[in-house]
Amino acid sequence: MTSPLPLPTTLPAAEAEALSDLYRRGTPDNTLRAWERDLAYIAAWKMAAFDAPLDWPESEAVALRFILDHSLDLTSATGPARLAAEALMDAGLRRSLACPAPSTLDRRIASWRAFHRMKNLPSPFEAPLIRQARGRARRAAARPRQRKSENPITREVLEAMLASCDHSHRGLRDRAALMLGWASGGRRRSEIVALNRDDLDSRDFEGKGLIRIRLLTTKTTGPDQAPRLPLKGRAARAVMAWVQLARIDSGPVFRPVSLADRVLKRRLTPDGLREIVRHRLELAGYPPGFASPHGLRAGFLTQAALDGAPLPAAMQLSLHRSVSQAQSYYADVEIEDNPATDLLG
């Protein structure tokens, strides 16, 4: 994080710096980035709404106002809540006057609570009135679940994307990244680009056509629980072909490729992987916005459902903790085949 973490002001400078470093090393990069964005948003909102900086601990009145301001569609509203929202939009911190999604508000509140814990202070969001107001606001703003990808990248879509990959460095890299991301359980883009060469165990590749992928950090696990997932057949061969051609003996597995088709040393970014997915979908003939990188994850689970793979088996690879969340992909596929739909004949 570029901004300082909100740690206790009573700590000596050396201990505060050591604790800050511990938080950075012990917290996933995605969480740190979310904290940074949320801290900037919350501080800007407090200044716009109250003309005052954040207090530690924050008052219940401010916490309640935050919930109320973010539980309304302000498009046709007037008054302080709209003025604060417009100030946030001018600062590039808010997109519109529409009511934010409940999940967005939940995340910002969770971050604010985390900042209080960092300072070893009680959070106003634990107060019964505030908790009740948040529950009411969540129900009032409830909306249909929005998919992270417009469409899943099923096997048919993936095969069309892979057919666009030639034998250049760029083509081999894209083929390896897409196949690994899909076949290893639908990996998130942050997990794919975070892989290093020593995360690929290829000792069984020659004999069994198998490599094992170590995921040091995922959304649900840390380095102490790092899963090792199998990658077989075509996907394993694609990854090893890329590694060997690009002569990757150490460091990042997936890297940018220059216009001259030269493999660079730095790590591919999550946005770089997004561009790979967009480009390959376009070359495969799909319309703009057809799917996002999350389509690899959605596509793996959707294809598992289509092929009749048991949900627990798919979850072993996808690493979903929530059965209901993973089940949603199965439900979308299976509901038309449910015998109860034929009761009337």
Tell me: the pLDDT tens digits for 169-221? 999 999 999 999 999 999 999 999 999 999 999 998 888 989 999 988 766 66
Mean pLDDT estimate for the chain: 87
pTM: 0.66
Q: Which residues contact 296 (CB under 8 A, 6 or more apart)?
A: 153, 158, 178, 181, 182, 186, 187, 277
How do the domains of the chain map onto residue ranges? 13-140, 155-335
pLDDT of residue 256: 96
pLDDT at 333 over 50: yes
Topology, domain 155-335: hpI Integrase; Chain A (1.10.443)
Give yes or no for a contact between 147 and 302, defined as CB atoms under 8 angstroms apart: no
Beta-carbon-side half-sphere exposure of residue 174 (alpha carbons within 13 Å): 27
How far is Cα 67 from Cα 49, in angstroms, rounded to an integer? 12
**13-140 placed in CATH 1.10.3470:** no
- The string of DSSP codes covering 298-317 is HHHHHHHHHTT--HHHHHHH
State pLDDT tens for residues 138-155: 887 776 666 676 888 999
pLDDT above 60 (res 134)? yes
Q: What does the buried/exposed string (b/e) look like for 101-125 if buried means 16 or more CB atoms within 10 Å of the residue's CB? A: ebeebeebbebbbbbbebbeeebbb
How sure is the predictor about 319, in pLDDT bands with cuts at 50, 70 and 90?
A: confident
